[in-house]
């Protein structure tokens, strides 16, 4: 009988790590060799280098290796932004499409899974429903929603397993996105200015080169602002934004 293949998409985020672990535990408990599970990660060089440490520790926790996938067409997100002269807009970020979605689609075509696991948390049931509606070809499994686990629960699970959270969370970011994510708003970019000044300066120069901006100011009229003219105090009272990239793309900068 053909084996039933399942892909767990691991993004180095806390939620996808715990979702993967839950699925692997269920499959192991069944002792049913009809199931074949791949843990796959779309890696991007713009991520924090601590993600390699986190992925290595999760590999031990999972008891299974992680397949690292990379774009065959682009070196990193800078390459995407520079070649397309585009950062982010109402339809989302081109880097998500090229560095994550296209890579995921290629793996799906090769692997032909019967189901796929994504780390939607209990707060994201609506987002999961939207994903199902927009991707009817994907048999989506959401172990975190089934177990009622929130993002905070995922943090606790990882800490309980003795795995230190990825550096971006420890620095105070809500998501383990790339360093200098184009989905970020003013508060996020002012934090990047402090934590990763070289990335801030490089993005500020790129905005001017291609004549595009990431951030908008205020709520009325939403004027755009270049990073090199962004008030360093702007957005400092914002809560950390939830702009998880994962393998999905959900709009641009708020
Ligand atoms: S995390 Fe941000 S910068 Fe990285 S691929 Fe996703 S949208 Fe692009």
Confidence at residue 238, expressed as pLDDT on a 0 to 100 scale:
62
The three-class DSSP label of residue 228 is helix
pLDDT beyond 60 at 252: no
Q: CA angle at residue 229 from 181 to 192, to 5 degrees?
A: 30
- What is the average pLDDT across 52-67? 98
C-alpha closest to that of 169 among 11, 9, 44, 7: 11
pLDDT band at 254 (very low <50, low <70, confident <90, very high): very low
| Of the listed ranges 28-32, 202-206, 209-213, the one predicted with least confidence | 28-32
pLDDT band at 110 (very low <50, low <70, confident <90, very high): very high
pLDDT band at 235 (very low <50, low <70, confident <90, very high): confident
Confidence at residue 251, expressed as pLDDT on a 0 to 100 scale:
33
Confidence at residue 253, expressed as pLDDT on a 0 to 100 scale:
31
pLDDT beyond 50 at 166: yes
Which residues fall within 8 angstroms of residue 70, CB to CB, at 6 or more apart?
42, 43, 44, 103
Confidence at residue 188, expressed as pLDDT on a 0 to 100 scale:
95
H/E element holding 216? strand 215-216
Encode pLDDT of 126-147 as tens digits. 999 999 999 999 999 999 999 9
How many angstroms separate the alpha carbon of residue 33 from the centre of ligand 1? 36
Percentage of residues in the chain with pLDDT exceeding 70?
A: 91
Percentage of residues in the chain with pLDDT exceeding 90?
A: 84
Confidence at residue 244, expressed as pLDDT on a 0 to 100 scale:
66
Residue with tokens 């199931």: 35
Q: Is the CB of 71 under 6 A from ligand 1?
A: no
Residue 235, number of CB atoms within 10 A of its CB:
20
Residue 182, number of CB atoms within 10 A of its CB:
27
Residue 140, number of CB atoms within 10 A of its CB:
16
How many angstroms separate the alpha carbon of residue 214 from the centre of ligand 1? 12
- What is the average pLDDT across 6-35? 95
**Strand ranges inside 3-144, DSSP E:** 4-9, 35-42, 66-69, 88-89, 92-93, 115-117, 140-141
Confidence at residue 221, expressed as pLDDT on a 0 to 100 scale:
60
How many angstroms separate the alpha carbon of residue 160 from the centre of ligand 1? 28
The three-class DSSP label of residue 184 is coil
Q: Are strands 92-93 and 88-89 parallel, antiparallel or unpaired?
A: antiparallel
Question: Are the C-beta atoms of 73 and 31 separated by less than 8 Å?
Answer: no
Q: Is the CB of 182 under 6 A from ligand 1?
A: yes
pLDDT band at 196 (very low <50, low <70, confident <90, very high): very high
Chain mean pLDDT for the chain: 92
Closest ligand 1 atom to 100 CA: 5
């Amino acid at each position: 009988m053909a084996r039933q293949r399942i892909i767990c998409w691991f993004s180095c985020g806390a939620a996808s790590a715990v979702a993967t672990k839950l699925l692997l535990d269920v499959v192991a408990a069944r002792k049913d060799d009809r199931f074949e599970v791949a843990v796959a990660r779309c890696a991007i060089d713009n991520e924090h280098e601590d993600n390699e440490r986190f992925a290595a520790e999760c590999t031990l926790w999972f008891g299974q290796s992680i397949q690292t996938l990379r774009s065959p067409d682009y070196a990193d997100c800078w390459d995407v932004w520079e070649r397309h002269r585009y950062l982010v807009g109402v339809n989302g970020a081109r880097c998500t499409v090229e560095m994550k979605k296209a890579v995921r689609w290629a793996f799906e075509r090769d692997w032909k899974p019967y189901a796929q696991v994504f780390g939607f948390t209990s707060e994201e049931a609506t987002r999961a429903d939207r994903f199902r509606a927009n991707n009817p070809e994907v048999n989506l499994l959401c172990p975190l929603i089934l177990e009622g686990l929130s993002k905070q629960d995922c943090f606790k699970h990882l800490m309980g397993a003795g795995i230190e959270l990825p550096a971006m969370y420890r620095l105070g970011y809500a998501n383990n996105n790339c360093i200098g994510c184009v989905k970020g708003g003013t508060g996020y970019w002012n934090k990047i200015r402090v934590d990763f000044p070289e990335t801030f300066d490089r993005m500020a120069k790129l905005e001017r080169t291609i004549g595009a901006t990431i951030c908008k100011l205020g709520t009325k009229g939403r004027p755009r602002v270049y990073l090199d003219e962004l008030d360093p105090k702007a957005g400092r009272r914002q809560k950390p934004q939830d702009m998880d990239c994962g393998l999905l793309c959900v709009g641009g900068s708020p």
